[in-house]
Structure 1
Amino acid sequence: MLLLNLFHAFWFSVSGISADTTEKIIVRRVTFTGNFRTRERIIRREMDVRDGDTLTRQKLDSLLEYDRRKILNTNLFVTVELKKKPVVDTTQLTYITADGKRIENLKMIDLDVIIKEQWYLLAFPVFQLADRNFNEWWYERDRDLSRTIYGAYVLHQNLTGNNDRLRLRAEFGFIPRLDIYYSTPYLDKKQRTGLTVGILRLTNRTVAYRTRSDKLVFLGSESRTRERIVPYLTITHRPKFYGHHSFSAQYSTTSITDTIARLNPNYFLNGRSRQNYLQLAYSHFYDRRDRGQYALRGFFYGVYISQSGVLPNDDINLLEGSANFGQYVPLAKKLFFSYMTKAKLSTPGRQPFLQIRGLGYGGDLVRGYELYVIDGQHFGYVKTNLRYQLLNRTFNLSRLIKFRQFNTFPLAIYPNIYADFGYARNPYPELNNSKLANRLLTGGGIGIDFVSWYNFVGHLNYSINHLGEARPYFSFGREF
C-alpha cells in the first residue's frame, strides 16, 4: 500500500496535478476524439462533467467513471476513454467558495473523450429456429430443419448520427415476418423526448394452439393458419441520465383458421377466429448498472402496466402489471454476485390463450425448465448468480484487420454457478393438464458465459430442476 501511495504521488507530481483528493480542479474544456459519425451533443447528453466545472479531485474522478459507463451504455462505441490533460498556465486561478473563502492557485485540466465507434450498419442473412430457444428445438422437436426461418436483417444503429435507429427484418420459411421501425431518442432541443414508430406482420403455417402438460402443442398446415398485423407507436421520456419512461400504443389484428378455433376454443375465448384490440402501456426503467450488456456492478428496477382493450368494440379486456429489480455486487476483485427478481399480476382470471404468458417465454424462466412453458396469469421468480472473472481482455487486431470498428476485440469469460426459484399461478390448470403451475419451481447448475464485441453474449449451462432432469442448455445472441 505504501508503494502504491508513493506511485500515485509521483504520477500526480510529474503530471502537474496534486494527489490531494479535496483539491479543487477546473475543467477548462471537454473535447471529443473519434466520433466520425456520432454528433457531439449525443455524447455530451451522457455526461455530468461540463466545460467550466470546478470540482474536487475525488468528485471529478467519480463522475468521470460514471460518464464513461453511460457513454458506453449507448451501445454506439466499442471503447470509451476519458483522458485528463493538465493545462500549463501561469495565470493564478482563484476560487470563491459559497461561504466566501478564497482558494488560490487552482489546477486546470482539459478533458479529452476518446471513443472508437462501432460499425453501425449491420446487414446479414437470417437463419434461425422457429422455436422458443435452441434447447426446445434440440430436445423436443428432434432437430427438425424444416422448423427454420431464413431471410435478411438490416439495422442501422446511428442513421443520422443522433443515435437513431432504422430496422428492417424480412423473414421467410417456418414463420414469415416483416418488421420495420424507426426510432429516435431525442426530438426536442433538451434531448429528453423520443419517438418510435413501426409495423409488424406475422404469418404462420404451423402454430402453437395450446399447451398440454406444460409443453406447446403445434398444428401444422400447408396453408396459412394465423396472421397478425400490429402497427405501434412509442413515446419515450428521459428527464435525466438513468430513468426512462415510455408510453406506447399499438393496434393488434389477429386471425386464425376455424380449425384452430375448434381445437382450442380458448385461443381467443368463446371459439372466436378473430381478435382486434387497442393496447395502451406505460413503463419506467431505472438503470444504474455499470454495463447493460453484461453487468457486474450496480442495480436496476422497472415497472410496467398495460391495458389491452380500450375501445368499445375491442375483443378483450386485460389489465397487466409487472415489476422487476436486480442488483450486482462485487464480492472480491474477480468474484461477483447478482440476483434479479420479477413479479407479474393480471386480470381477469379467464384470459385468451394468446395473451397468457407465464414462465418459459423470453427471459421469464427458471433455469432448468427451458423445455417447459408454465401458463399463468400471475408469476414471480428470483434468479441468483455467482460469477468469477476468468478472463477480461481487449485484443488489438489492427495488424490483421484494418477497419477501426473491428480491430479491437474485447473478450470476457465468466464461469458461474446459479440457483433460481419461481412460481406461476394458474386458476385453471385443468385446461392444459399443467403439472408445474401452482407449485414452487427450483433449478440450478453451473455454466460459463462469453462476452464479446457488439453485445454478443453466449451462455453454456448445465442445469438440474426439481424433477431431477439434468442436461446442458445453450444460448447465444446479440443483445440489442
Structure 2
Amino acid sequence: MLLISLFHAFWMSVWGGTPDTTQKVVVRQVQIIGNFRTKERIIRREMDVKGGDTLTVFQLDSLLEYDRRKILNTNLFLSVELKKKVVVDTTQLPFYTADAKWMGGLTMVDIEVVLKEQWYLLAFPVFELADRNFNEWWYERGRDLSRTIYGVYALHQNLTGNNDRLRLRAEFGFIPRLDIYYSIPYLDKKQRTGLTIGILRITNRSLAYRTNRDKLSFLGSDERTRERIVPYLTLTHRPKFYGYHSFSAQYSMTNVADTIARLNPNYFLGGKSRQRYLQLSYSHFYDRRDRGQYALRGYIYGFYVSKIGVLPSEDVDILEATFNWGQYIPLAKKLYFSYLTELKVATPARQPFLQTRGMGYGGDLVRGYELYVIDGPHYSYLKTNLRYQLLNRTFNLSKFIKLRQFNALPIAIYPNIYADVGYVRNPYPELNNSQLANRPLFGFGVGMDVVTWYNFVGRINYSFNHLGEARPYFAIGREF
C-alpha cells in the first residue's frame, strides 16, 4: 500500500492535474516497439532523449514531442507515440543507469517508442496527364485524352531497413520516360552522410518549344522532337537533427529536332539543336516543421545555388540562386496561419528557353495563375494561408482490413482562405510577348484540403486574379 501511495503521489505531482514541471527525472532506458523492418539505429538517430538522461519534467515533455515529430518526418511510420512509464519511486533509492552513472534521490522512468510502420513497397500503374497540371489540360488543351502518360511507378521506401529508397518510373504514351534512382541517407557510422545516384531519360514527340503571351506553345509530331539523358549523383550531409546539406552533380545531354531550333532559335540560343553541360549545385535547408507533408507548426528555410555549365567549352553558362522561408503558426485551437516566400535570381539575363524557369512550374506560382507560365530569370512570391481543422480523425478498419499498414484510415480536412503576391523580372519580354512579367501579380481565393493515407493530399481551390479571372482549380497527389 505504501508503494502504491508513493506511486500515486509521484504521478500526480509530475504528470497529474497540477504538475511540478521543475521535478527532475532520470530516463532509465528507451525501448522501441513496432519496428518490424526499420533498424533501431535509424529511429534512435532522430531522438534527443537517451537512457541515462537527467531532465526536468518540462524538458522531457518538450524533447519527447520534438522527437515524435522527427521520427514521423522520416516518412517511415503511419503513427508514432512516445510514452512515459514510471518504473518505481526511487527518491530514496540510489541506482546505476545503463551507462553506469551513479544516480540517487531522483525518480526513474522508461520511455516507450510505439510505432506503426507504413507499407514500404508501393507499386501502381501510372495514368496521368502530360501537361503541367490538371487545370491546364482541362481549360487549355480541350481535355484531350491523347495527352496522357501511362506506365508503372514502383518505390520501396525502406529497402534494407535503413530508410533507403529504390525508385523506378517507366512511362510511355505522350512523353516516354525512364527514371531510376537509389538513395541511402547514411553511409557512415555517425549517420551523417548519405548518397543518391540515378539516371533520367525523357523522349518527347509533342514538345513545348516556347511561351507566347504567357502560355506554352506546343509542337506535335509523329517523330521524336527531343531526347534528354541526365545521370546524376548527390551527396547529403546531416550533422544534427534539423539541418541538411546536399552537393549534386549531373551531366545533361539534350538533342532537339531541327524544326524546334527553327521555330525557336532561343530554345538553346543561336539556333542550336544540341546542348551539353555539367551542373554543380549546393543546397541547404533547415526544417523545424511538425510534419513535412502537411505542416501546421514550425518553420523552414532553405538556400540553393547552382552553376550550370562548369567548363568554358560547354553550351550553357548560368549561375542561379534561390532562397525560401516559411512559417506555420497556430493562432487558436484548430486555426492555423502560414506563409511561404521565395526569391530566385540568375545571371546572365539572356538564357536558353530550356533553362528559363520563371513562375508556373510545380509549386512556384501565384494561385489564380495556374494556367500561365511567366518566363524570367528572376522572380519572387509570397503565399499566405489561413486554415481551419474541420476534421482530424483516424478510422479503425481492422474489421475489414487485416494488414496493419492499411487498417487505420486517417482523414484530415482543412477549409482555408489564401492570398498570394508575386513578381517576375524579364529583361526581354518581347521574345515571348509576355503580358504578366514585370508587373505585380495578385491572387486570392478559398479552398479545401483533404489529407489521408500515405501523404496523399487532395485540393480544390476557387481562385481570383488581377485579370478578373475566377475559376476552380484541382490538384491531387502524394507529397513525399
Same fold (TM over 0.5): yes
Partner of 1:109: 109
Code of the aligned partner of 1:379: Y
Cα offset for 1:417? 0.3
Cα offset for 1:169? 0.3
Whether the 8 Å CA contact 2:14–2:21 is kept in 1: the answer is: no
CA distance in 2, matches of 1:9, 1:295: 38
Partner of 2:26: 26
Report whether the alignment pairs 1:433 with 2:449.
no
Code of the aligned partner of 2:178: L
Code of the aligned partner of 1:52: G
Cα offset for 1:149? 0.2
CA distance in 2, matches of 1:318, 1:166: 31
Cα distance 1:54–1:272, how it changes in 2: closer, same or farther (>3 A)?
same
Partner of 2:303: 303
Cα offset for 1:408? 1.2
Cα distance 1:14–1:59, how it changes in 2: closer, same or farther (>3 A)?
closer
Partner of 1:51: 51
Cα distance 1:173–1:264, how it changes in 2: closer, same or farther (>3 A)?
same
CA distance in 2, matches of 1:151, 1:83: 44
Partner of 1:260: 260
Partner of 1:99: none
Partner of 1:4: none
Cα offset for 1:312? 2.9
Whether the 8 Å CA contact 2:14–2:20 is kept in 1: the answer is: no
> What stretches of structure 1 of length at least 5 have no aligned partner?
1-7, 96-101
Cα offset for 1:19? 2.8
SS in 1 for 2:144: coil
Cα offset for 1:393? 0.8
CA distance in 1, matches of 2:15, 2:266: 72
Cα offset for 1:92? 3.1
Whether the 8 Å CA contact 1:169–1:177 is kept in 2: the answer is: yes
Q: TM-score, structure 2 length as denominator?
A: 0.95
Report whether the alignment pairs 1:183 with 2:183.
yes
Cα offset for 1:105? 2.7
Partner of 1:445: 445
Q: How many pairs are equivalent?
A: 467
Code of the aligned partner of 2:348: P
CA distance in 1, matches of 2:285, 2:118: 25
CA distance in 2, matches of 1:90, 1:469: 69
Partner of 2:356: 356
> Per-residue CA shift, 1:158-189, capped at 9, x if unaligned?
00000000000000000000000000000000
Q: TM-score, structure 1 length as denominator?
A: 0.95
Cα offset for 1:313? 2.0
Partner of 2:388: 388
Partner of 2:4: none
> Per-residue CA shift, 1:71-106, capped at 9, x if unaligned?
0000000000001111026683469xxxxxx99631
Cα offset for 1:195? 0.2
SS in 1 for 2:354: coil
Partner of 2:196: 196
Partner of 2:217: 217
Whether the 8 Å CA contact 2:90–2:108 is kept in 1: the answer is: no
CA distance in 2, matches of 1:263, 1:50: 64
What's the RMSD between the two structures over aligned residues?
A: 1.8
Cα offset for 1:395? 1.2
SS in 2 for 1:69: helix
SS in 2 for 1:110: strand
CA distance in 2, matches of 1:285, 1:236: 11
CA distance in 2, matches of 1:13, 1:428: 69
Residues 155-304 of structure 1: pairs in structure 2 closer than 5 A: 155-304=155-304
CA distance in 1, matches of 2:55, 2:302: 32
CA distance in 1, matches of 2:159, 2:104: 48
Cα distance 1:104–1:161, how it changes in 2: closer, same or farther (>3 A)?
closer
Whether the 8 Å CA contact 2:284–2:302 is kept in 1: the answer is: yes
> Per-residue CA shift, 1:214-272, capped at 9, x if unaligned?
00000000010000000000000000000000000000000000000000000000000
Cα offset for 1:400? 1.1
CA distance in 2, matches of 1:318, 1:431: 19
Q: Give the percent of matched residue pairs that are identical in Structure 1 and Structure 2.
A: 77
CA distance in 2, matches of 1:117, 1:367: 35
Code of the aligned partner of 2:449: D
Partner of 2:92: 92
> What stretches of structure 2 of length at least 5 have no aligned partner?
1-7, 96-101
Whether the 8 Å CA contact 2:129–2:149 is kept in 1: the answer is: yes
Residues 111-130 of structure 1: pairs in structure 2 closer than 5 A: 111-130=111-130
> Per-residue CA shift, 1:403-427, capped at 9, x if unaligned?
0001111111000000000000000
Cα distance 1:426–1:104, how it changes in 2: closer, same or farther (>3 A)?
same
SS in 2 for 1:136: helix
Whether the 8 Å CA contact 1:16–1:86 is kept in 2: the answer is: no
SS in 1 for 2:38: coil
Report whether the alignment pairs 1:62 with 2:62.
yes
SS in 2 for 1:241: coil
CA distance in 2, matches of 1:440, 1:252: 34
Cα offset for 1:12? 2.8
Partner of 1:333: 333
Partner of 1:474: 474
CA distance in 2, matches of 1:233, 1:434: 36
SS in 1 for 2:353: coil
Partner of 1:150: 150
Cα offset for 1:20? 1.5
Whether the 8 Å CA contact 2:90–2:107 is kept in 1: the answer is: no
SS in 2 for 1:364: coil
Partner of 1:3: none
Cα distance 1:413–1:17, how it changes in 2: closer, same or farther (>3 A)?
closer
Cα distance 1:289–1:60, how it changes in 2: closer, same or farther (>3 A)?
same
